[in-house]
Amino acid sequence: MASTGTLFLIFAVTFIREGNAQNTFVNVNCKENVGQYGQQSLLECIVQTTSEASDIQIRVVTWRRQGADKPALVFHDGRIDPKSSFTFAEPSWNNKNMNVSVLIPNTRVADNGRYTCMVMTNSGDGKGEVNLKVTAKYSEPIISSIPEKITPGSNGELTCETHGGYPKGDIRWFVNDNTDWTKSSKMEVKGAQDGLLHLSSKLPLLHGSIFSKYTCIVYNATGGKEAEAVFIPDPEVEEHTAVYQVSGESVTLECSFTESPNSNDELIGMYLYHDAKTQEQVLYYHSSPGPEKISPRIRYSKRVEKRGSLKKHTITISNLTVEDSGIYRCVYKKNVQSEDIRNVYILVVSAYVRHIYPFKNCDRCQAWCPRQYKVAPYSVSKKESEPDGSEECLPLMLIIGVTSAVSIMVTMIFTWLIVPKVKQWTSSRRA
């Protein structure tokens, strides 16, 4: 009870003196400070006196946060109240030390606010105020999607989440070449028990307006960038993008930027890439400067042909080889930094005849098909079925090759088996 009465007397005297005219002998000067969540924070105040005051001794110091029920620190009668949650910044502090700054050992969100430091000396008293701004850095954002796989031809939603930050920050969305797309999103803020905040922003995706790259950036309360995450939609794979061809044949790939070739999207060109063991350029289709034209690379020179406009065209690659197998991607460019993958193809080039089937009607080519076999092409979009008589007959060169191989085998057998026997018989006759 005595301790409670003493504190009550201190505060009563403090408020009475606060109501009096400002003392010209004692001033308390404080500095603003920013505290990091979970770290030690400093509330800095220093007592300054005039030259008329001498042998100054501090009798009472109180630190209180505005709105708090109890003071954070009380010094009286030469000692610090053991219930104080703060400590003086200088460990060897005494009542003749004019530095009345205090330390917050483990800064929390609840410590955020404005503090008042009241000082009573033997030459007068003074008051100072300082504002502590508690901050906490937001975590690395995570982007999730519904559905899990987003393609240019689907509807969906992206969610960017970050937590553990303070005060309230912001989440902004950027697409492709850093175009701000935040206006289409909606952000939600939730608080945790420790006072830290959880930010969540949802961005709807509509069919036909899916970009090739989405960037979620987290900003703190002062507008500073803290962290970011990137989401790349899966390239839209058509039903029949796997293509099988035989060496020496040609393949035609379609590249299309949008469903509407007359859209207002400005493009500077398109790359056709070939990915196998390494990535290489097949060609560059550019629209400026000058008229639209393609620039094929050396390995594809005189082997490629273009039909159509930049936004929708076909590329035909002729004289295919096994080395042409791999993944082909149509990548459109709006500027130097942007990339927009629109079409993906898988090409498999075989060096052998695809399939050989027996066939029924060979009257029109009996001379070229004595064994009644023919060659049928293979397609991934149709079921394999027995070909009809309209397919081509087996090439004559293949028939000649098989006949030659058989003849060589017979000759070798004759040489290895018959000739030694004849030599042995001839030697015995001479003997």
Is the pLDDT higher at 38 or at 266?
38
Name the 3-class secondary structure at 4.
Answer: helix
Q: What angle do CA 27, 33, 35 make, to 5 degrees?
A: 140
Residue 158 has a pLDDT of 94
φ, ψ (nearest 5 deg) of residue 42: -110, 130
Cα–Cα distance, 407 to 403 (Å, whole number): 6
pLDDT at residue 3 above 50? no
Cα 431 versus chain centre, distance: 92
Cα–Cα distance, 79 to 244 (Å, whole number): 89
| Domains in the chain with CATH codes | 26-134 (2.60.40.10), 142-231 (2.60.40.10), 240-350 (2.60.40.10)
pLDDT at residue 47 above 80? yes
Residue 338 — very low, low, confident or very high, per pLDDT cuts 50/70/90? low
pLDDT at residue 84 above 50? yes
Residue 288 — very low, low, confident or very high, per pLDDT cuts 50/70/90? low
For the entire predicted model, the pTM comes to 0.52
Name the 3-class secondary structure at 411.
Answer: helix
Residue 406 has a pLDDT of 61
Look at 35-44, 152-161, 296-305, 390-399 and tell me which has the smallest mean pLDDT. Answer: 390-399
pLDDT tens track for 85-140: 899 999 889 888 999 999 999 999 999 999 999 999 888 889 999 999 999 999 99
pLDDT at residue 281 above 70? yes
pLDDT tens track for 169-226: 999 999 987 889 999 999 999 999 999 999 999 999 887 677 888 999 999 999 999 9
pLDDT at residue 82 above 60? yes
Residue 256 has a pLDDT of 85
Cα–Cα distance, 104 to 127 (Å, whole number): 20
Cα 99 versus chain centre, distance: 50
* 343-352 burial code (b ≥16 CB/10 A, e <16): bbbebebeee
